[in-house]
Amino acid sequence: MLKTQIPTAAFADTKPHYEILDGLRGIAAITVVCYHIFEAFATSHLDQEINHGYLAVDFFFILSGFVIGYAYDDRWGKMKITDFIKRRVIRLQPMVVIGAIIGGIMFYFQGCSVWDVSKVTIFALFVATFVNAILIPVTPGTEIRGLGEMYPLNGPSWSLFFEYIGNILYALLIRRFSTKILAGLSFISGCSLAAFAILGPYGDICAGFKLTGIEFIGGFLRLLFSFTAGLLLFRIFKPVKIKGAFWICSLSIVVLLSVPRIGGAEHLWINGIYETVCFAVLFPFIVYLGASGKITDKYTTRLCHFLGEISYPLYMVHYPFIYLYYAWVKNNNFTFLESLPGAIGVVVGSIILAYICLKFYDVPVRKYLTSKFLKNKNN
């Protein structure tokens, strides 16, 4: 695999990696952790520092479409749909499961004024953990945290829910589309997502993590546009020569995800325009540059390899500790500077935990499942 991490795409074992895209995925994942840390100090994402970190999901979806196309578009004559689905489940599901388990274990340490965990029974927690592990979303009012999330034990699981939808649509339908039809679908879904961002009630596309009408629509549009745009980008991709692509693209990602809210509550549409430019123009361009660039020194190669390896595990295991950090900050009424050691601990600890999960759980489990359920591993 091209070390596609998620919510993202698996690479065929016999194809070379795009090392820079690996590294960019890791940079975006670390930025997401920092974004989530600042949730503890915001009344909403209107006034949150590192304000646009949620757009990393759209960047991940574009990467997913690009990599899925690269890995599988030319293999359907010798690969069945069931084999493709097995590969995706083997690639994605182990970390979904461990993320849910970690979330369940950490749950009772996360009580604060925002949510009361003392009334949740062990049985309810077990059920919630099981449901999260098999990626069944829950509806507002039925989940144990009381915030209306689809996956209250590990919030980022929502993007994996949509990632699976994108993979299934690709296997059953989208892969059959000509480049022109794919371009048309990407354009229509992009216009719809832009309308959601600019004219919708939020002034942004921070949607998809709740199972309500407008949330589901927002999440689906984010998946549909970004995934099809990534696939389209792969189909028309012609690399250019560019020096320093990893560093240019990394800085661009960090800056774009950290830009403060634009327009405020009075002019929501202005922020919607900014996000439309990001997901429709800048993110595809960054992926294009990243796929075009080459790494010429061993240190950057090792860095990109490490970042690519830990990106998906980091995305999937960090959020239970964000809940814990959030409760710690709220219970003690800390400022950010007062909680800075804890914030650094969350970032560093999450990276270490991600690496441990990768080496001692994810890789061995995927190897076992591959040997057991995929008869021809090269399909």
Q: Which residues contact 201 (CB under 8 A, 6 or more apart)?
A: 214
- Taking only the tens place, the pLDDT of each residue in 324-375 is 999 999 999 999 999 999 999 999 999 999 999 999 999 999 999 999 998 7
35: number of Cβ within 10 Å: 22
For the chain, give the percent of residues with pLDDT over 90: 84
Q: Which residues contact 364 (CB under 8 A, 6 or more apart)?
A: none
Q: Report helix, strand or coil for 45.
A: coil
- Taking only the tens place, the pLDDT of each residue in 9-19 is 433 345 778 99
* 44 pLDDT above the threshold of 90: no
Instruction: Give the C-alpha distances (Å, rounded to integers) separating 125 from 110, 114, 129, 132, 366.
Output: 13, 18, 6, 10, 27
Three-state SS for 282-335 is HHHHHHHHHHHCCCCCHHHHHHHHHHHHHHHHHHHHCHHHHHHHHHHHHHHCCC
Please report which residue ranges of 154-297 form alpha helices under DSSP H: 157-172, 179-199, 213-236, 245-258, 268-277, 283-292
Q: Side chain identity at 227, as an amino acid letter?
A: F
Asked if 289 contacts 82 with a C-beta cutoff of 8 angstroms, the reply is no
Predicted local distance difference test score (pLDDT) of residue 4? 36
Confidence of residue 377 (pLDDT cuts 50, 70, 90): low
Predicted local distance difference test score (pLDDT) of residue 46? 87
The C-alpha atoms of residue 163 and residue 160 are separated, in whole angstroms, by 5
For the chain, give the percent of residues with pLDDT over 70: 95
Asked if 259 contacts 51 with a C-beta cutoff of 8 angstroms, the reply is yes
Q: What are the sequence ranges of the domains in the chain?
A: 19-237+244-373
